[in-house]
Amino acid sequence: MSSIKNILVLAPILWIRKVLLYLIIVLVGLGLLVYFLANSPLAIKKAVDTFAPDYNITYESIKGNA
């Protein structure tokens, strides 16, 4: 009888742990996706084309990223 009681007590804790683990995995995955998209050459070129003229920055080409 006590094992059933322990299962009933632990079930919500195990459910919350599963949800939190899923959220952590999703957030880390989204963070990595945003990091790599923001550092893509296309995004960097668009940012430079937008902001370089405002600050009188000249460049020949864009190479590399973070």
First to last CA, the chain: 58
- Give the integer Cα–Cα distance in Å for 62 and 60: 7
61 found inside a domain: no
11 found inside a domain: yes
Answer yes or no: pTM beyond 0.95: no
29 found inside a domain: yes
Q: What DSSP element (H or E) covers 43?
A: helix 41-51
27 found inside a domain: yes
What is the extent of the structural domain holding 8? 2-55
pLDDT tens digits for 7-66?
Answer: 777 888 889 999 999 999 999 999 999 999 988 888 888 888 888 888 887 777 666 655
64 found inside a domain: no
62 found inside a domain: no
Give me the half-sphere count of Cα atoms (radius 13 Å) on the Cβ side of residue 60: 0
Report helix, strand or coil for 40: coil
Domain count, the chain: 1
50 found inside a domain: yes
Report helix, strand or coil for 2: helix
